[in-house]
């Protein structure tokens, strides 16, 4: 069982960090960062501080992973800070590993929020024994053009501001992955929304429950074979969650990676699995075929799998708290988070 952090309240202080790409500190993107901060303040009533190295720019932070790690450690140590929110992902936060003090995280449980390459920071928290939150980031969801999506706001409030069970996660009615350039001229331009077709049941029957574990499937590859790779007990009776990045990996890669999970015995230990909507719905059908191929190869055709869920590299998105019990109902094609992710 992971230790759950305390819930957020209006007036709480939160820290922003750049554990991976340092784009939030680039002069041409500063408006975007400030817009995300403004939403935290106005929508959620939070006080926001940026950690000392987080806005030093992409080049500096690329060359100084120890500075990125120092920000993360400092934020965990600071008793005033109640949550830590990633500015954005990237592709090299695995380089922070030598500088992480897991005891600091263990003894100072607090909300950590982000997705994509922030999967590595979630594995830091998992190793330290605390629940963290796979969800929105500053430069993407919080800084969404015109306004934040109400679906994302609702999901954040249910996951981080309430000690009640999170409950049924309805599919978003719409989605977007449209890439509008991050320039100030576009800040008042809404991205084009498309109708969402809801969740798909790929296979399985009945209702299953398990504790949530997963992340961005490409980023998880960085952790294999390291001290960060989750211990066997974390996979047992789990609900696995996987999603793909903006790099849109080839369907064959999904097949190869899932074969590895099967070879490790991880898929056999899981009670169910959920997959996020691929960005732009690229490879939408081919990913399904790859997933089902591996399930057939390993006689796992009864494992319940839901597909096309609104998390990861799509907007709007919901929040997945690690280690919290969830449920997949195959008959009704529903996904429910059965517990609260925070404590009073």
**For the domain 174-337, what is the CATH code?**
3.50.30.60
Q: Cis omega before residue 316 (within 30°)?
A: yes
- Residue 190's pLDDT band, with cuts at 50, 70 and 90, is very high
- Per-residue pLDDT at 131: 98
pLDDT-based confidence at residue 271 (cuts at 50, 70, 90): very high
Do the domains 13-164 and 174-337 sit in the same CATH topology, yes or no? no
Mean pLDDT of 142-157: 98
pLDDT classification of 287: cutoffs 50, 70, 90: very high
The whole-model pTM stands at 0.98
What is the structure's pLDDT at 141?
Answer: 98
CATH superfamily to which 13-164 belongs = Murein tetrapeptidase LD-carboxypeptidase, N-terminal domain (3.40.50.10740)
**For range 201-210, the mean pLDDT:** 98
**Where are the chain's structural domains?**
13-164, 174-337
- 216-258 pLDDT, tens digit per residue, is 999 999 999 999 999 999 999 999 999 999 999 999 999 999 9
Under a CB-based contact definition with an 8 Å cutoff, are residues 239 and 208 in contact?
A: yes
Instruction: Give the pair of three-digit tokens for residue 7.
Output: 């819930």
Q: What is the pLDDT of residues 48-85, one digit of tens each?
A: 999 999 999 999 999 999 999 999 999 999 999 999 99
The sign of the torsion formed by the CA atoms of 11, 165, 332, 132 equals: positive
């Amino acid at each position: 069982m992971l230790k759950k952090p305390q819930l957020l309240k209006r007036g709480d202080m939160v820290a922003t960090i750049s554990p991976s790409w340092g784009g939030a500190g680039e002069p041409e993107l500063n408006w975007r960062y400030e817009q995300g901060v403004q939403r935290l303040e106005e929508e959620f009533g939070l006080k926001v501080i940026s950690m000392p190295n987080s806005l030093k720019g992409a080049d500096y932070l690329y060359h100084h992973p120890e500075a990125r790690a120092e920000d993360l450690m400092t934020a965990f140590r600071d008793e005033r800070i109640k949550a830590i929110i990633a500015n954005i992902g990237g592709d090299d936060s695995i380089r922070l590993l030598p500088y992480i003090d897991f005891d600091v995280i263990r003894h100072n449980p607090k909300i950590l929020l982000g997705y994509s390459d922030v999967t590595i920071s979630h594995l830091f928290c998992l190793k330290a024994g605390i629940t963290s939150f796979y969800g929105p980031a500053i430069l993407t969801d919080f800084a969404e053009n015109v306004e934040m999506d109400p679906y994302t706001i609702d999901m954040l409030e249910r996951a981080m501001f309430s000690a009640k069970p999170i409950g049924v996660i309805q599919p978003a009615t719409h989605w977007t992955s449209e890439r509008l350039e991050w320039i100030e001229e576009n800040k008042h331009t809404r991205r084009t929304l498309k109708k969402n077709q809801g969740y798909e049941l790929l296979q399985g029957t009945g209702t299953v429950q398990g504790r949530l574990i997963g992340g961005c499937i490409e980023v998880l590859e960085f952790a294999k074979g390291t001290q960060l790779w989750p211990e066997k007990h974390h996979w047992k009776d789990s609900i696995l969650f996987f999603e793909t990045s903006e790099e849109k990996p080839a369907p064959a890669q999904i097949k190869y990676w899932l074969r590895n999970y099967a070879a490790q015995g991880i898929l056999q230990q899981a009670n169910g699995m959920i997959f996020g909507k691929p960005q732009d719905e690229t490879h939408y059908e081919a990913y399904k075929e790859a997933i089902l191929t591996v399930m057939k190869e390993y006689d796992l055709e009864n494992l319940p799998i839901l597909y096309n869920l609104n998390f990861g590299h799509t907007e709007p998105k919901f929040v997945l708290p690690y280690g919290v019990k969830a449920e997949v109902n195959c008959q009704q094609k529903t996904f429910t988070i059965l517990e609260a992710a925070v404590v009073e």
